[in-house]
Amino acid sequence: RASLLERLPADGAEYAFPARPTVILVVGVNGSGKTTSIAKLAYRYGARGHSVLVGACDTYRAAASEQLTIWADRSKVEIVKKGEGADPAAVAFEALETAAVLDYEVVILDTAGRLHTQKPLMDELRKIHKVAQKKLAGAPHEVWLVLDATAGQNALVQARMFTEAVQVTGVIVAKLDGTARAGALFRIRAELGLPVRYVGTGEGKEDFEVFDPEVFVDAILAG
């Protein structure tokens, strides 16, 4: 237990926003639980009194912005979106512009789920990243990769590829409520130095917690 905890050090409690607005770009492959994780993150920050704006930059999947809008309404946070097929970078630009004018504390940018092997989509992700940098100095302040807890060692491959593309700074683990052990987190930490920020632990919008290494390691050992 001690050895495992040494390999997965805690990175603190709730994420503290370094700027106003703080821009968080969220990335991941199809089916990883990305959109749901964004919704839970927005709800968590909103429930703690922070003003949250979500940018629906996934303009490819027909139901993506609709799904995010429903979650945003439930979570009482605002959303910026455009029609299906719109330029994702333009949505990001508008979200940052809105946040600056209306003085939001945090902007969470959703992106289309993509395989790390899809070069055109990875190039588009880089474009969104560059637009954020040009619009707001220091943005995006964080790039969080959502990983499916059931992905096994493929999660490490995803982490490598996304980090190469857009300098991932942290990880959110979705679907940790199942039987998955998510042991790949140890290698991701060792090879890439990426902290685990949050974990999704259920279906509800409240089922989202700051990552606790002790709870995680105990769950592994309990098996």
pLDDT tens for each residue of 128-184: 999 999 999 999 999 999 999 988 888 999 999 899 989 999 999 998 876 557 888
What pLDDT is attached to residue 74? 81
Residue 116 has pLDDT above 60, yes or no: no
Separation CA 82–CA 96 (nearest Å): 14
What pLDDT is attached to residue 140? 97
Contact 114, 43 (CB under 8 A): no
Tell me if the pTM is above 0.85. yes
For residue 193, what are the CA distances in angstroms to 11, 169, 189, 196? 11, 9, 4, 10
Print burial letters for 196-218: b (CB count within 10 Å at least 16), e (below 16).
Answer: bbbbbbeeebeebeebebeebbe
Which 8-state DSSP code applies to residue 85?
Answer: T
Parallel, antiparallel, or unpaired: how do β-strands 196-200 and 208-210 relate? Answer: antiparallel
Identity of the residue numbered 63: A
- Where does the pLDDT of residue 117 fall: very low under 50, low under 70, confident under 90, or very high at 90 and above? low
